[in-house]
Chains A and B, each alone.
Chain A
Amino acid sequence: MAEISLRNLTIEFGDFKAVDDVSLTVKNGEFVVYLGPSGCGKTTTLRCIAGLVGATSGDVLFDGVRVNDLSASERNIAMVFQFVSLYPHLRIKENIVFPLKARGVAKAEIARKLDWVTEVFKLGDDLGRYPAALPPGARQKVALARAVIRDPAVLLLDEPLSAIDEQFREEMRWELGHLQRQLGVTTIYVTHDQREAMSLADRIVLMNNSRIVQVSVPDRMFFDPVDIFAGQFIGSPSMNLIDLEPVSGGLKLGGSDVTLTPERERLPQWALSSARPLKLGVRPINVHLVDDPQAGVALPVDDVFSVGRERFFSFRIGDTIHQGVDKRRSNSGSEGRVHFDPDGFLFFDAQTGRRVGAEDAA
């Protein structure tokens, strides 16, 4: 186990900056998830920590010791890859003990460790099989067993669940979280799936365009996005983003003739008097279609659709379509009014995309 630090890490491939000035410290035993869209640099960062990709500038430190010049095999890291990386010519048992044998660990020690991981991962039935005989989910379990068998300084996971069936993925995700807490091993996990990030992470590192956008605990990531990208990337369905135009008596929703008022929508004073143009971010769970003809505002409803138990609706402001939760009683027949819940309001600077609050407006 170790504390992993990145100091001003930059990685370039030719003219392309894959990772741009990233700094972060992962505490001993912490579970950190790198989250972001494809090509944002999260996997490259992980591979650099592993030693499979070299840093163009900046440092990688394990427990304060610079490891830039150590090869992957010298760093005592363990890694699980996105696609199957088991050795196809070796039986499961041989796959699992490979890292120990490669390092020349004594036979008795190997046997003891093997017993332990077999127990932890319940692999008893599969030890004599070849990887090809196992379903993808079970293979990743073996890859995980192979990773943890030798007490690595850090466990690196590169989208380990993305090639697994939906159903088994849930199970594996739960097991993985459980296992990490049990072993207490420092873990860095890369994914583009926000649900995985939200459910597993102690802290989420959100990346976009080769840079870190935000680092925070999962809850804050949802409630306190630092900018429009963070707000829209986290949460499903995605956050609605609406242009605001200051008019007398409130803020007009851009492209419509509907105005939000300080009274009904409890708009904060600073937002009304803001010198810079603002955008309103409001998540679908905070936009309700209600029966009460006095509540909310009138906006054209586009469509109503059910996702499991919940009913969503889409509505138009100008040309853009937004989403909310349909809270009308079924069969009420009313067209409904759109009610914006001010508790869920997030204001962003329309130019920079940064989140703004009362303190910024001054």
Chain B
Amino acid sequence: MASSQTTTTEDRAAGHARRQAELRKRSSGRLMIFGFLSPSLAILLFMVAYPIFSLIYYSFYNFSALRQTTMKPVGLSNYTFLLSDPELWQRFVFTGKFVFICVTLQMLIGIFVGYQLQKNFRGRDIIFTLLMMPMMLSPVVVGFLWRYMLNSEWGIVNYLLSSVGLPKVDWLGQTNAALWAAAAADTWMWTPFIVLLATAAFRGIPETIYEAAEVDGASPAYRFFRITLPMSAPVLFIALILRLIDSFKQYDLFVALTGGGPGSSTETVSYAVAKTAFSYFYTGEASALAVILLLIITGLSMILVRHLTKMGEKY
């Protein structure tokens, strides 16, 4: 009896020691995790969280970065001013048009070309490598490239037009022509991205699925619209959202290509933020506009993230 009791006490003691050791191990593990994470966490806090918070903070002040002493809290008046400014609305409209044209062209061309490139053939790798090249250029470089090509006097585009007897077009001197020119440059640069993703998505569809569809009596068109497109829709949707976000905040291309002109008619919202902040130094107002832009892009990103999560559940 007595001996059995001793054993239980000993057992209990041993169990306790074991639990202690485990706890120590676990907490030291936590410390380790934190240790490894802290450098990147610190950078993230300093580079992302701090600027965002100061951005939001400044957006409620009448404040210019050139005159730090006079910081006057103005509540929401930066926002009310911006939202009632017809010029800003015009920039949103222009940005919207640009996004719509770019994304539509890039998706349509990208899906078409991607579908052609999904089969294995000789020289496929070379074509892919060539396709990647515009993407590797800086948007500013692309902007200048197209600016020279579209120059109304000596650009190659007008040279080609006049060589077949067509009139020269002042591409960058008219708002609508400049819009299409910018869209063309952006499409030239980013369609390969869609091609790449679309090809990957199309090639991910197993051959037996197509064979089953063929046996089931589906015509090539029916197969494309009922099998290929819907099965690669998740990836195509991601590509779409990424392009939406990216073209929505397009800035550098316009700096190099049109400089916002003619007048300020090809200024995007991002362009307006940069100009307000660093040409006029209306830091408070620019901050408020940046916050609005941030909200819109966060909204788009949330659609993307939610979609990605849902995709994981379904397949």
Listed in ascending order, the chain A residues whose CB lies under 8 Å from chain B are: 50-52, 71-74, 76-79, 81, 83-90, 98-99, 102-103, 130, 132, 143, 146, 150
Residues of B within 8 A of A98 (CB): 213, 216, 218, 226
Residues of B within 8 A of A87 (CB): 209, 212-213, 227, 231
**Pairs A-B, 4 closest by C-beta atoms:** A99-B216, A85-B212, A102-B218, A85-B208
A85:B217 contact, CB within 8 angstroms: no
Residues of B within 8 A of A130 (CB): 314
Chain A proximity mask over B120-145: 1 for CB below 8 Å, otherwise 0:
00000000000000000000000000
Residues of B within 8 A of A76 (CB): 217
Please, could you name 6 A-B residue pairs with CB atoms under 8 Å apart, sorted by A?
Answer: A72-B211, A73-B214, A83-B208, A86-B212, A98-B226, A102-B213
A130 CA / B219 CA spacing, docked (Å): 24
Closest Cβ of chain B to A147, distance in Å, is: 8
A73:B219 contact, CB within 8 angstroms: yes
A85:B209 contact, CB within 8 angstroms: yes
B230 at the interface (CB under 8 A from A): yes
B215 at the interface (CB under 8 A from A): yes
Listed in ascending order, the chain B residues whose CB lies under 8 Å from chain A are: 206, 208-209, 211-219, 222, 226-227, 230-231, 233, 314-315
Pick the contact of A79: B212, B227, B315 (CB < 8 A): B212
Known contacts A89-B230, A89-B231, A102 near B212 by CB under 8 Å: no
B218:A52 contact, CB within 8 angstroms: no
Residues of A within 8 A of B219 (CB): 73, 102
Closest Cβ of chain B to A148, distance in Å, is: 12
A132:B315 contact, CB within 8 angstroms: yes
Known contacts A89-B231, A102-B222, A73 near B215 by CB under 8 Å: yes
B315:A81 contact, CB within 8 angstroms: no
Q: Which residue of B lies closest to A79 (CB)?
A: B215
Known contacts A52-B211, A102-B217, A103-B217, A88 near B315 by CB under 8 Å: yes
A50 CA / B211 CA spacing, docked (Å): 10
B212:A71 contact, CB within 8 angstroms: no
Closest Cβ of chain A to B9, distance in Å, is: 51
Closest Cβ of chain B to A315, distance in Å, is: 46
B231:A85 contact, CB within 8 angstroms: no
B314:A146 contact, CB within 8 angstroms: no
Q: Which residue of B lies closest to A82 (CB)?
A: B208
Closest Cβ of chain A to B222, distance in Å, is: 5
A90 CA / B230 CA spacing, docked (Å): 9
A187 CA / B187 CA spacing, docked (Å): 53
Residues of B within 8 A of A72 (CB): 211, 214-215
Q: Which residue of A lies closest to B232 (CB)?
A: A89
A358 CA / B222 CA spacing, docked (Å): 62
Known contacts A87-B227, A89-B233, A130-B314, A73 near B218 by CB under 8 Å: yes
Q: Which residue of B lies closest to A146 (CB)?
A: B216
A81:B211 contact, CB within 8 angstroms: yes
